[in-house]
Structure 1
């Protein structure tokens, strides 16, 4: 199934407006419920200003998609850190110099290479700069479709890197916050019965969503941050958690059965965020993104 939504606004900064994320959320929910689309096989791609949208939406909605592909767009102020668990392809014409799209795509390739090298097995990506092609790539970028189709969503990855954009979200994979704020960076990983918070704002109320596919809920669960124990004990299965996480997205494969609430350390030593080259100025949007299934 292929869905090409109309952009909800005609403004140049439409990808920085909350209704865009809400539109995609609702589209996915409706198609999962009404058309029995597999929520683990939803893919995102967009061309030109639609590519701008993929750069923006993929990192902040990575837990909704199995893979994403950007064609002929510009990232503006988007960051790639949230793509840790989302295979991401970039296609741009080698002669597509408007807004430095070709140069910025190459810069993102360097950033993704560095992230993948520092986190083995994560940040799966493909960057293709098509030699001799301009803004239109004569469909050479169509290779992105079979590349994306190789992947299915992992709704419960071992490690989550969550960086809030100017459009914020209260939940990302198995992490949730009640007061999302732009710029919040949370990094957490799980191993066995332990959840380790590697990076988070100080004194943050954080909810960790769990189920028996992630760990054994009949045994103690331990949550730590930089060696400090934030929680240890049994986490009961809860009908209320099942209902709430299902109502969040109507996604049966992203519903959880238990949660533990912690407050992060008052003054953690934050891990430095990866640095990247400065991107050129923002372009004017000229085409909507599409979300094929």
Structure 2
């Protein structure tokens, strides 16, 4: 046992230079505000162009057009954003255009910016393509700037092939959404573990047997039920499988909007379960991995918790990973203990660093700005 522990060599390297000055909590907050404001100013011209043209162009050349409607009065904290994915799939452009045109009129939230994007392709993988994640990041940033959207009130929904997309994007981008609602879709290879902190709704017609959609909806419901039972406080979900309906649910699913609106995002949850998708991401809530680890990380898992002043890594499949901390997660003015699979590997103060603040303002979301980054290596 001692030999095994010795082999678990950890390198904990807070991102501070030898001459770095510690930031106070107040100074870190002021710095985050100023850097977010600067980032919004830098990005504004691009955001104005994208919002006016109603399209976002990916570096790969993929183009995502979108339509939007604005509902209700803007709350003090900012508007909600609903991203609603159309169906269709492996069909002609005309068929998918018709589905897109239908989607913009399908739902009407009481308050918020309701956006119906047009999938860049006409394949069955409408919302599965790797570039979709980047395009949605851009769409959220643009809406934050142009419509004063609150990044903690961004919701994802979709019907049919759009429901397929919700299964995919809700799981691999769970840290971006406040809640998600899947209507009449199929999960394909999506996994539910990442939904630990994301309220998730399943809506399905009980007679919708094509591609076993109705059976898969029941299986996902049972899986989420089981996950919720063994992980108290996690995997909030609802499921409505209407026995009288087929693929079209006669708008019974519109109750999803009020249900989603009752939630704001858990930006800094005290437990994170992260299973890397085949479309890699380098950050998930307050965990991160280097690019090389993300690129070759499909199926790798990290489970981590924060309780009081203790950060615990319960499971980890990576050789290198990051822990991002801020004062909402933990008291950075007090000593912090880090444990790895039950073994204390470090205890002490970590100092807020302006470089970490600058690294994490790109989402224009102060609650997800970190002030400390721990670089960790398992030594395996």
TM range (shorter): 0.7 to 0.9
Answering whether residue 331 of structure 2 is matched by residue 216 of structure 1, we say: yes
Q: Is the 8 A contact 2:164 2:186 kept in 1?
A: yes
Aligned to 2:166: 54
Under a length normalisation based on structure 2, what TM-score does the superposition of the two structures give?
0.68
Aligned to 1:275: none
Answering whether residue 327 of structure 2 is matched by residue 233 of structure 1, we say: no
Aligned to 2:148: 36
Answering whether residue 188 of structure 2 is matched by residue 188 of structure 1, we say: no
Distance between the aligned counterparts of 1:193 and 1:264, measured in 2? 21
Aligned to 2:282: 170
Q: Is the 8 A contact 2:171 2:191 kept in 1?
A: yes
Gaps of 5+ in 1: 267-293
Under a length normalisation based on structure 1, what TM-score does the superposition of the two structures give?
0.87
Gaps of 5+ in 2: 1-112
Q: Give the CA RMSD over aligned residues.
A: 1.2
* 1:120-148 CA-partner distances (Å, limit 9, x unpaired): 12100001101210110000011111111
Say which one has the larger Rg. 2
Distance between the aligned counterparts of 2:364 and 2:155, measured in 1? 17
Aligned to 2:378: 264
Aligned to 1:254: 368
Matched residue of 1:40: which SS?
Answer: strand
Q: Is the 8 A contact 1:52 1:74 kept in 2?
A: yes
Deviation at 1:33, TM superposition (A): 2.3
* 1:153-178 CA-partner distances (Å, limit 9, x unpaired): 01100100001111110000000101
Find the partner of 1:207 among 322, 329, 352.
Answer: 322
More helix by share: 2
Aligned length: 264
Aligned to 1:74: 186
* 1:15-65 CA-partner distances (Å, limit 9, x unpaired): 332101111111111111222100110000000000000000001101101
More RCO (CA 8 Å, sep 6+): 1
Distance between the aligned counterparts of 2:378 and 2:182, measured in 1? 35
Distance between the aligned counterparts of 1:27 and 1:251, measured in 2? 14
Answering whether residue 255 of structure 2 is matched by residue 152 of structure 1, we say: no
Matched residue of 1:213: which SS?
Answer: coil
Judged with a 3 Å threshold, the aligned counterparts in structure 2 of structure 1 residues 34 and 231 are, in CA distance, closer, same or farther, namely farther
* 1:201-239 CA-partner distances (Å, limit 9, x unpaired): 15x211111111111111111111122233322111011
